[in-house]
Amino acid sequence: MWWKHTVIYQVYPRSFQDSNADGIGDLEGIRQRLPYLKDLGVGTLWLSPFYKSPMKDFGYDVADYCDVDPVFGTLEDFDRLLKEAHGLGLRVLIDLVPNHTSDQHPWFLESRTSRDNPKRNWYIWKDPGPEGGPPNNWQSFFGGPAWTLDQRTGQYYLHLFLPEQPDLNWQNPEVREAIHEAMRFWLRRGVDGFRVDVLWLLAKDPLFRDEPGNPEWRPGHPDRLRHQHLFTEDQPETYAYVREMRQVLDEFSEPGQERVMVGEIYLPLHRLVRYYRAGCHLPFNFSLITEGLPDWRPENIARIVEAYESLLTPWDWPNWVLGNHDQPRLASRLGEAQARVAAMLLFTLRGTPTWYYGDELALPNGEIPPDRIQDPAALRQKDRTPAGYHSLGRDPERTPMPWDASPYAGFSTVEPWLPLNPDWPVRNVAVQERDPQSILQLVKRLIALRQEPGLLLGPYRTYRARGGIYAYLRGEGFLVALNFTDRERALELPQKGRVVLSTHLDREEAVGETLRLRPDEGVVVRLS
């Protein structure tokens, strides 16, 4: 099962490499940079959406599930990228966005023409509520009501995101089959699977009940947190929909060539693991992002890992992630020193790691002036929070990849769609390739070391530690020790061994019964 052995590397296509001098990354640019991914050591490329789209939410508003938006290139460009990736031994996952379409998708354009149009029931339409307003109190992730009135037909349609992103009606079997056919279109072209967007939101309460209030909500918090989401998230019908998608993947799977589903699911761990039973190979485990990074203490990280491991059956394969296109950058959350420690954590835990482009350079959050804001979540909610744009915007984690110190960092030959990170002349791939102790070199070493059988497939056990150290055993032969503090620490080892990798990249040595860790240092010890 290749997806147990791989490292997934997420590319946000707009920001990886521009090949046609329009300031926006594209598929041909990604193809040109495939050797970089191969050299890094990752095994799987995950592409965020590149579908035909009005770009109200940069591709997550799909106008055609079976075509490439001209800003990213053509179907032929995709086929060439896929062929070359496979030629290098890289798997390719693409985003599937099945919860909603663009309001410019032909399905929705038909749906809104009249109440009796055959496509009307492909989306979720409701009469106004008793007082003439929205049908219920459901809120959008991007602020404001999740309902928009269509003046022509006198009904509201549901959109859990932008008004330009109407939700599909997954109760309708015709909708499900249409999404399945879109999956088959890409599977026939040879993709290795899908990362499924907002998988836990597909089903909605059939009674459309008001959601109860959230007693912890305070003014200044996002609108959607006003309520507990008992009727718009993780509904029982969702599992059946996941099983159907898994059946489509299985149509194209062979031993060693499984087509894989990675599901975006922001849920507590005890609910997340239910998606394994439904057929999702890797329900995304965001607990290090949602619980770990805000509370970066060894006791808390150990608690998260132990809780997750305790919930998995022998048939479930864990996965971990520290960043993505919706979350602040790892280095801005922890600083570069602890970002190195976090990288060692991610690549030595049991399970499949997912890595976000640029985190191997310790890229910080970008600095986005108000006149350069692009993210609709920020623009739509800027007046609703005291911190304005930057408290809700996702632009800072989507800035262009800095490749070298040439103009526009080798990303483009013109001004990029978002500003480059402020320190790009000294923080870029070329500089870190030349530095034997850069975080880029550390990530390469970690990915290579992860292929050791004990680290790849061995069991996990927490090892006793205190004083700001998190330590654990992998398999029978490895101990990982991570110093979460800025002071020197010591750890008593179960037996002698040898340090085979340090986050400082300056240490490979035999160790006795006591392991000394420098400030902000993580080490992997091969036990004797």
For residue range 146-200, what is the model confidence (pLDDT) as tens digits? 999 999 999 999 999 999 999 999 999 999 999 999 999 999 999 999 999 999 9
Q: For residue range 317-326, list pLDDT tens digits in order.
A: 999 999 999 9
Q: Is 251 a catalytic residue?
A: yes
What residues contact residue 360 under an 8 Å CB cut-off, 6+ apart? Answer: 40, 343, 439, 440, 443
pLDDT of residue 414: 98
pLDDT digits over 233-274, tens only? 999 999 999 999 999 999 999 998 999 999 999 999 999 999
What is the pLDDT at residue 390?
43
pLDDT in tens, 199-228: 999 999 999 999 999 999 888 777 788 899
Domain residue ranges of the chain, discontinuous segments joined by +: 106-158, 459-527
Pick the CATH number of 459-527 from 2.40.40.20, 3.40.50.720, 3.40.50.1100, 2.60.40.1180: 2.60.40.1180
- Cα-atom radius of gyration of the chain, to the nearest Å? 23
Q: What is the pTM of this model?
A: 0.97
Tokens coding 172: 């309708």
CA–CA–CA angle 211, 214, 219 (5° rounding): 120
The closest alpha carbon to 208, from 156, 165, 248, belongs to 156
Are 125 and 65 in contact by the 8 Å Cβ rule? The answer is no
Q: Choose among 457, 310, 328, 410: nearest CA to 16.
A: 410
Round to whole Å and give the CA distance between 68 and 26: 10
CA distance 505 to 453: 22
> Annotated catalytic residue: which of 39, 174, 181, 251?
251
Neighbours of 505 (CB within 10 A): 16
Weakest-pLDDT range from 68-72, 135-139, 141-145, 404-408: 141-145
Q: Distance between CA atoms of 137 and 211, rounded to whole angstroms?
A: 7
Q: How confident is the model at residue 392 (pLDDT cuts 50, 70, 90)?
A: low
- Selecting among 26, 167, 197, 234, the annotated active-site residue is 197
Report the chain's mean pLDDT, rounded to a whole number.
96
Q: For residue 389, what pLDDT band results from cuts at 50, 70 and 90?
A: very low
CATH class for domain 106-158? Answer: alpha beta
Percent of the chain with pLDDT over 70: 98
